[in-house]
């Protein structure tokens, strides 16, 4: 049976079954996580969770108000804890943002873009339209959203969903352009899942405004920053009234005790953040340039820890060769609206693994030419 292309990267277990190998044998460039995670602080959290007696994170019910976690996140951002709501990954919080957005008119999402917002809107029978980005894109940013579109954005018929930096292109949107858009919409949802990885990302963040602004929701995730996709931890910043309503709607204890303990330990890890910024500041441009030298491949400029590449021809044979011959997974982009078999997305990993990717690419491209 023909399968639809995956809507998400990082499907290690599925790929291992398909390739008849163990997930540990795969080199994953399809999900974009920090390559040297998780932070060492997580070890202490796990030790305490296993050995801490009846109040330990694994044994006791989590605090239903997540007070300590909310305080830790609030302190990190210099905002009030009542404006923070932790979630079971950013994905869970999109669902609640979508519940609000679904009743405010036709939503706008950028295409190609991260498809989970549509999943969330569909839960509440919400409607959406796509606003098409110009491709290939020429700038990594910070740039104005309006300048990167194929057509005029305004007037908008309802809420707007923005990913900053954008996925899959890696464009960083300027804070100023987002503030202008905020004036035009009944609700602006800004997904900043990747923003804390970028060396100067915080300068473009709308998070400091979200605690007070009734038409703004900012969503963050620790998945990428700390390489803890399996833990599931994100948070929303919005007005206390909005978040109080979401908390009434959802299941009790949506964030498990281990995730809450991890969040308290990791959110304030400044040396970790600096290490991530140093890595991306060096490795992102290095991989971009190295890929750009490969014949037949175009590499879009990216501020993020992933690169969108394209070719005049289908890149599916290349993707399959990387997977089958080299056990390297890259993001098949056919599930992104507006992209086809000529596009792939690659994570930026560490130098050793990036070089392994380049060697494998060279072998496949040389075979192609032979």
Ligand X SMILES: Cc1ncc(COP(=O)(O)O)c(C=O)c1O
Q: How far apart are CA 118 and CA 107, in angstroms?
A: 9
Q: Which is nearer to ligand X, 8 or 359 (CB)?
A: 8
193 lines the binding site for ligand X (CB under 6 A): yes
349 lines the binding site for ligand X (CB under 6 A): no
42 lines the binding site for ligand X (CB under 6 A): no
Interface map 305-344 toward ligand X (x if CB under 6 A): ----------------------------------------
Tokens 């796990």 locate to 46
Binding to ligand X, residues 100-129 (CB under 6 A) = 114
Q: Which neighbouring-strand residues pair with 309?
A: 299, 344
158 lines the binding site for ligand X (CB under 6 A): no
Considering only 38, 89, 126, 196, the residue that binds ligand X (CB under 6 A) is 89
Considering only 234, 254, 284, 300, the residue that binds ligand X (CB under 6 A) is 234
Q: How far apart are CA 332 and CA 313, in angstroms?
A: 14
Considering only 12, 79, 81, 91, the residue that binds ligand X (CB under 6 A) is 91
For residue 145, the 8-state DSSP code is G
Q: What is the dihedral of CA 92, 95, 100, 104, to 10 degrees?
A: 150
Tokens 């998070």 locate to 207
Buried-state track 134-157, b at ≥16 Cβ within 10 A, e below 16:
ebebeebbbbbbeebeeeebeebe
259 lines the binding site for ligand X (CB under 6 A): no
CB atoms within 10 A of CB 230: 8
Q: Which is nearer to ligand X, 223 or 239 (CB)?
A: 223
254 lines the binding site for ligand X (CB under 6 A): no
Task: Please give the size of the binding site for ligand X, defined by CB under 6 A.
Answer: 12
Instruction: Report in angstroms how near the CB of residue 196 gets to ligand X at its nearest.
Output: 12
Interface map 6-35 toward ligand X (x if CB under 6 A): ------------------------------
Please give the helix or strand (H or E) that residue 359 lies within, else none.
helix 351-369
Q: Which two tokens stand for residue 64?
A: 């239903």
Tokens 């605090």 locate to 63
Binding region for ligand X (CB under 6 A): 89-91, 114, 163, 167, 191, 193, 221, 223, 229, 234
């Amino acid at each position: 049976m023909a399968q639809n292309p995956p809507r998400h990267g990082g499907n290690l277990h599925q790929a291992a079954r398909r390739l008849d190998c163990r997930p540990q044998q795969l080199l994953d460039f399809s999900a974009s996580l920090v390559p040297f995670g998780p932070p060492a602080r997580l070890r202490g959290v796990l030790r305490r969770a296993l050995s801490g007696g009846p109040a330990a994170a694994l044994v006791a019910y989590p605090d239903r108000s997540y007070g300590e976690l909310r305080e830790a996140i609030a302190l990190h951002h210099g905002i009030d804890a009542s404006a923070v709501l932790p979630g079971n990954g950013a994905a869970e919080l999109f669902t609640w943002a979508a519940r609000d957005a679904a009743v405010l008119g036709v939503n706008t999402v950028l295409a190609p873009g991260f498809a989970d917002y549509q999943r969330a809107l569909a839960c509440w029978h919400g409607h959406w339209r796509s606003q098409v980005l110009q491709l290939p894109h020429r700038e990594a940013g910070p740039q104005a959203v309006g300048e990167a579109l194929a057509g005029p954005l305004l007037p908008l018929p309802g809420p707007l969903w923005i990913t900053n930096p954008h996925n899959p292109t890696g464009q960083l949107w300027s804070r100023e352009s987002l503030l202008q858009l905020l004036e035009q919409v009944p609700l602006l949802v800004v997904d900043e899942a990747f923003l804390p990885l970028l060396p100067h990302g915080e300068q473009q963040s709308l998070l400091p405004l979200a605690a007070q602004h009734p038409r703004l929701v900012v969503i963050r995730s620790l998945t990428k920053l700390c390489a803890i996709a399996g833990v599931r931890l994100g948070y929303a910043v919005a007005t206390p009234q909005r978040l109080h309503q979401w908390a009434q709607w959802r299941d009790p204890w949506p964030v498990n005790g281990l995730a809450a303990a991890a969040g308290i330990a990791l959110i304030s890890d400044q040396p970790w953040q600096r290490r991530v910024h140093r890595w991306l500041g060096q490795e992102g441009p290095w991989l971009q340039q190295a890929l750009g030298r490969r014949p037949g491949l175009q590499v879009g400029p990216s501020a993020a820890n992933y690169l969108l590449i394209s070719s005049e021809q289908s890149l599916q044979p290349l993707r399959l060769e990387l997977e089958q011959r080299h056990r390297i997974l890259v993001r098949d982009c056919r599930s992104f609206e507006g992209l086809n078999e000529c596009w792939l997305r690659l994570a930026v990993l560490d130098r050793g693994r990036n070089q392994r990717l380049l060697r494998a690419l060279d072998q496949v491209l040389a075979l192609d030419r032979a």
